Structure 1
Amino acid sequence: MRARFHLPDFAGHFKFNVVFAELLEKRPEYFREGVEIASVYGVFPPSIWNGGRTQGGVCNKNFINTVIKTFNGRGIPLRFTFTNPMLEKKHLNDDFCNMVMHLADNGLNEVIVMSPLLEDYIRKNYPNYKITSSTCKRITDAEQLCSEVEKDYHIVVIDYDVNHDFETLEKIPDKKKCELLVNACCNPNCPMRSEHYKAIGLQQIAYSNHVRKYPNAPFDTKKLVAEHPEIQKFADCPCSQRSLFDIVKLKNHISPDEIWGKYIPMGFEQFKLEGRTLETLNLLEHYMYYMIKPECKDQARFEFLNWLVANDVIQILE
């Protein structure tokens, strides 16, 4: 039995995920049966190809090399969220994204794609990368989903509105190739989700261009909204900051009992945790909930928190 988890944000949650990988290695008795870290996904900001969540900040080459070496040294792939749906041909030659791709081009690392334009570019120029089909494509039709799984992808991330559509899930020809997003924060069947992805893509492009031209100046979101007013309607979306205790109430949520009692017996073994923009303690609860045995949560949480403090991931106020 394997439960292969894809964890959020190798850059912003770098130390957090390294410490968690250490916990899995040194305290395997705390973990549910078969838990593995299949990858840590995200981007190094300011990646113009990024999608799904706007990622701010700037990473230098030394940090990028450190992250690659640290996770790859443990046998854990980095999986780049290059899912921006608003890319144009001119963006393919972006210096920063291509530098990152060159630095991580060792046959272990992976890329998540949405845009056919970028997918073709990566397949041609970086053939060593394993390619994942993104949930951002919003494929919910059973026939289209099965067709997507049969294509040349390493993994297909299923739209989370299909999470409990067992008639569709049963039809999938290769379930081990499919990844289920178990803790989706978005409202089920949200009619605006695809438009939200596009707005995020526009914001990421604007931010990345700004950092390139004005590295020391703050990013003006008001100017961006003036140029793209469609972005404003997503500015106050509360979904991305929902806690675990909010998410478990959503009908597209998959519980740990369902993972081990239903989905793994069906043949699924790939599970994604959202959380690139979550605060540390919120993310910690997701990890405890999904990957730690219920009877070990308190002890694992206590030990993990102590390790996070020791590694300056969180600070205790005195």
Structure 2
Amino acid sequence: MKVRFHLPDFARLFKFNSVFLTMMENSPEFFREGVEIASIYGVFPPSMWNGGRVMHGMCHKDFVKGVTNYFNKKGIPLRFTFTNPMLEKKHLSDEFCNMVMHIADNGLNECIVMSPILEDYIRKTYPNFKLTSSTCKRITDPDTLYEEVCKDYHIVVIDYDLNNKFDILEKIPSKEKCEILVNACCNPGCANRSLHYQTIGTEQIAYANHVRKYPNVPFDSNKFAAEHPEAKAIFECKCEHRSLFDIKDLSTHITPDDIWNKYVPMGFNQFKIEGRTFDMFNLMEHYLYYMVKPECIEKARLTFLRNLSLNGAIIIPDHS
């Protein structure tokens, strides 16, 4: 049995994820049966092709090389969230994104895509990258979903409004190439979700252009929001700040028992944990909840926290 998890963020959460992987290697007895890490997804900021969450920051070439080499040597692909729906042809030549693609072009790493423009560019320019069809496409019609799964994608991420709708999920062909987002924090059936993705894409492009032109001037997110009154509800949304304990009652929530007792027996074995912008402690609870045996969670939490402290990922004052 393989239960393959796709984990969030290799840049901002580099230490967090590297410490977690070390705990998996050193304490395999903590973990549920069959747990594997299928990929770590995200971007190196300020990638303007990024979508799904606005990612601020600036990663230099040496950092990109170091992180890519670190995870790839463990056999773990980086999977770039190049899901910005607002891209135009002029954005395809972005120097930073193409630099990242050149560094990671070794046949192991992958891209998640939404924009047909970018997908076509990557297929032609970087054919070594496996492509994943993004949940950002909002494919909720069953027949359209079944057609998407049959297309030339390595993985298709299912829209999480279909979570737990087993009459639809059961009919999906090639379930092994489908990925289920298990811990969605968005409201089920949210009418603003597509607008949210579009607003994120617009802001990511604005941010990337800003840091290129004015590297020493902070980007003003409040000013950006004021310039886009049509997205007022998006900027006021607090869903992405929900904790694990806030989302358990959502109809789209999938429990660990659901994974092992329902989804895996159906033929699904790819599961995504979202959390690129979660705070570290919230994300830790998600990792423990999904991947660690219930009877080992407390011991694993202590081990994880101690190792995060030893590696400088969290700072605990010494009062001795």
Range class of TM-score, shorter chain: over 0.9
Identity over aligned pairs, percent: 67
After TM superposition, the structure 1 = structure 2 runs for residues 98-137 of structure 1, keeping only pairs within 5 Å, are 98-137=98-137
- Match for residue 28 of structure 2? 28
User: 2:84 aligned with 1:92, yes or no?
Assistant: no
Deviations 1:100-151 (A, max 9, x none): 0000000000000000000000000000000000000011111000100000
| Distance (Å, rounded) in 2 between the aligned partners of 1:222 and 1:229 | 11
| Distance (Å, rounded) in 2 between the aligned partners of 1:230 and 1:5 | 36
| Distance (Å, rounded) in 2 between the aligned partners of 1:274 and 1:110 | 17
User: With structure 2 as the length reference, what TM-score do the two structures score?
Assistant: 0.98
Q: Partner of 2:170: helix, strand, or coil?
A: helix
User: 2:224 aligned with 1:224, yes or no?
Assistant: yes
Deviations 1:155-211 (A, max 9, x none): 000000001111110111100000000000000000110011000000101001000
| Distance (Å, rounded) in 2 between the aligned partners of 1:232 and 1:100 | 33
The residue identity in structure 2 corresponding to 1:171 is K
After TM superposition, the structure 1 = structure 2 runs for residues 228-243 of structure 1, keeping only pairs within 5 Å, are 228-243=228-243
Deviations 1:62-102 (A, max 9, x none): 11111001100100000000000000110000000000000
| Distance (Å, rounded) in 2 between the aligned partners of 1:86 and 1:215 | 23
**Would you say the 8 A contact 2:225–2:235 is kept in 1?**
no
- Match for residue 270 of structure 2? 270
- Match for residue 2 of structure 2? 2
User: With structure 1 as the length reference, what TM-score do the two structures score?
Assistant: 0.99
Deviations 1:281-311 (A, max 9, x none): 1100000000000001011111111110000
**Would you say the 8 A contact 1:51–1:200 is kept in 2?**
yes
| Distance (Å, rounded) in 1 between the aligned partners of 2:155 and 2:128 | 15
Q: Alpha-carbon deviation of 1:226?
A: 4.2
**Would you say the 8 A contact 1:112–1:134 is kept in 2?**
yes
Deviations 1:258-278 (A, max 9, x none): 000000000000000000001
**Would you say the 8 A contact 1:110–1:129 is kept in 2?**
yes
After TM superposition, the structure 1 = structure 2 runs for residues 36-185 of structure 1, keeping only pairs within 5 Å, are 36-185=36-185
| Distance (Å, rounded) in 1 between the aligned partners of 2:231 and 2:208 | 16
Q: Partner of 2:157: helix, strand, or coil?
A: strand
Deviations 1:41-76 (A, max 9, x none): 000000000000000000001111110011001000
**Would you say the 8 A contact 1:187–1:239 is kept in 2?**
yes
Structure 2 unaligned regions, length at least 5: none
Q: Partner of 1:308: helix, strand, or coil?
A: helix
Q: Partner of 2:284: helix, strand, or coil?
A: helix
| Distance (Å, rounded) in 1 between the aligned partners of 2:31 and 2:136 | 30
| Distance (Å, rounded) in 1 between the aligned partners of 2:148 and 2:55 | 28
- Match for residue 283 of structure 2? 283
- Match for residue 250 of structure 1? 250
| Distance (Å, rounded) in 1 between the aligned partners of 2:231 and 2:63 | 31
Q: Alpha-carbon deviation of 1:25?
A: 1.1
Aligned residues: 318
CA RMSD of aligned residues (A): 0.8
Q: Partner of 2:217: helix, strand, or coil?
A: coil
- Match for residue 18 of structure 1? 18
